[in-house]
Amino acid sequence: MKNIDLIKLPFSKENPILVQVLGVCSCLAVTAQLKPAVVMSLSVIVVVTLANLIVSLLRNTIPPRIRIIVQLVVVSTLVVLVDQVLKAYVYDVSKQLSVFVGLIITNCIVMGRLEAFAMVQKPWPSVLDGLGNGLGYSVILIALGFVRELFGSGTLWGYPVMEKLGLYEIGYENNGLMIMPPMALILVGLIIWWHRSRNKDLCE
């Protein structure tokens, strides 16, 4: 596999959410609004890239029998570190993030990529793989956040779009279902449907 593919494939044919079905849990939880979705995306990109790098560097020393524990230690150490640094230097951002930082530890993408890729690959490809998967995850998260905030709350990044367009005056109402977690699942389902119909080779 060429290095460029490591970045490119996760956007479509190897997308962590659409194809690998990893990270769906957090994708339901944080996409009610655009801003948390973006913040979560950035944090996952950072953590998955660094974790991939560290585990890849350690990969020949890690005993296979305890590899999951080792990966967990690496991931949680990174996440707590990031959290502490944010709290000290960018307190406002950390308040936005705090709940998501904890969620990153349990994000299946991180563990999934460590187990499937970084354990058996050299450091540089691992970094690219982490970056690619982080970005692939972000694309879906941001798309969901955009749709759910726009139609669920009538705002984008907190800006009252629907109100400015004057839609409420002509009888438009926000769709309350949009801000509920099940709607994220339905939207992901629709995206997967569209995605499979364009990539027939993915269908089983």
Enumerate binding residues for another protein (CB under 8 A). Answer: 29-30, 32-33, 36, 60-66, 69-70, 73-74, 77, 80-81, 84-85, 87-89, 91, 96, 98-100, 102, 149, 153, 176, 179-180
Return the structure tokens found at 192.
């997967």
Among 129, 22, 118, 133, which Cα is nearest to 70's? 118
HSE toward the beta carbon, residue 35, CA cutoff 13 A? 10
Of the pair 20, 56, the CB lying nearest another protein is at 56
Of the pair 78, 131, the CB lying nearest another protein is at 78
Of the pair 4, 81, the CB lying nearest another protein is at 81
CA distance 95 to 179: 21
Of the pair 159, 194, the CB lying nearest another protein is at 159
Of the pair 7, 53, the CB lying nearest another protein is at 53
**Shortest distance, position 58 Cβ to another protein, whole Å:** 9
**Shortest distance, position 198 Cβ to another protein, whole Å:** 30
**Going along the chain, which residue ranges are E strands?**
none
Among 11, 13, 2, 6, which Cα is nearest to 202's? 13
**Shortest distance, position 112 Cβ to another protein, whole Å:** 20
**Shortest distance, position 62 Cβ to another protein, whole Å:** 8
CA distance 169 to 120: 59
For residue 202, report the phi and psi dihedrals to the nearest 5 degrees.
-80, -20
**Shortest distance, position 28 Cβ to another protein, whole Å:** 11
Find the distance separating the first CA and the last CA of the chain, reported in whole Å: 23
CA distance 204 to 197: 12
Of the pair 19, 97, the CB lying nearest another protein is at 97
**Shortest distance, position 204 Cβ to another protein, whole Å:** 29
Residue reference for tokens 């849990």: 25
